[in-house]
Amino acid sequence: MEACLKIGNHLLTGEQLVSSLVRYKLLESLIGHVVLDDVLPQVRLTQEEVVRALTGSAQMPEDFDQFLVQWCESKGVSPVYVKTVVLRDLQVRKLKRLLFADRIEAEFLRRKQDLDQVGFRRIKVTDLALAEELYFQIRDDGADFAVLAQQHSQDFERHTGGLVGPVRFSTLPDEIASLFRSGQPGEVYSPVQVQSSFWIVRPEQFIFARLNDSVRTELIEHLFMEWLQSQIQSVKSQPNGVQVQGILPSATTKGAV
């Protein structure tokens, strides 16, 4: 009997599964997992690492195999699931550390400016003359930025008195990020064009990134995804590296995914 996958009222055969991977643009993700399957046998987990990951404790059980059986029973999963899914996930985590743990400090320094955050006030309008008038009211007449934002801004900050963030510098338009990198809290900038609108901005607070555990984890994940993507592209670029045979003839050309 041919293997198939049932999702709701849909029954997908092997051929239909391949077709769905291509149609829903999931094939590249699958390639990544296949690449990992070639690498993970080199990543050995110690019993101590498994126990610590599953229990959060460094205390070793007297019988490791019996511990795994009991853990499976408590979680309602099979030993096969633990081996093929749970332990594989632990191997992937360890692979990330092995590949990139010693690069985190350098990566942090390289990306620190993008990881820094700023909280600011903004008035966003589409009329340059109005933007300039509001700017002069704030700069010369001492008008309340928050009130003008509530009255005139055309984005969500009209409900927050102009407040935005804190947000990372990497999420800001380049024109605004460059201003803030050399600016001071409380400094009001003349209207800056961002696409089809004009922004009046005033930085309120700078929060400088630190290499804490959450940032360390984020950087490792970023480096890992860059590495995995390069591995996927390497497979796709090889002659006959990825082929869909028997269906979708137009997708069987070199590198087609």
Residue 245 reports pLDDT greater than 70: no
* Per-residue pLDDT tens digits for 177-230: 999 988 889 999 999 999 999 999 999 999 999 999 999 999 999 999 999 999
Element (H, E) at 16: helix 14-23
* Per-residue pLDDT tens digits for 73-132: 999 999 999 989 999 999 999 999 999 999 999 999 999 999 999 999 999 999 999 999
Q: What is the DSSP string of 201-237?
A: EEEEEEE-----HHHHHHHHHHHHHHHHHHHHHHHHH
Element (H, E) at 132: helix 128-141
Residue 15 reports pLDDT greater than 90: no
Residue 35 reports pLDDT greater than 60: yes
Confidence at residue 182, expressed as pLDDT on a 0 to 100 scale: 86
Is the link from the previous residue into 166 a cis peptide, with omega within 30 of 0? Answer: yes
Confidence at residue 76, expressed as pLDDT on a 0 to 100 scale: 94
Residue 1 reports pLDDT greater than 70: no
- The encoded tokens of residue 25 equal 């643009």
Segment of 14-18, 164-168, 246-250 carrying the highest mean pLDDT: 164-168
The CA radius of gyration of the chain, in Å to the nearest whole number, is 27
The structure's pTM equals: 0.77
Confidence at residue 242, expressed as pLDDT on a 0 to 100 scale: 76
Confidence of residue 253 (pLDDT cuts 50, 70, 90): very low
Q: What percent of the chain has pLDDT over 90?
A: 73
Give dist(CA 83, CA 71) in Å, integer. Answer: 13
Confidence at residue 14, expressed as pLDDT on a 0 to 100 scale: 78
Lowest-confidence pick of 3-7, 39-43, 171-175: 3-7
Write phi, then psi, for 235 (nearest 5 degrees).
-65, -45
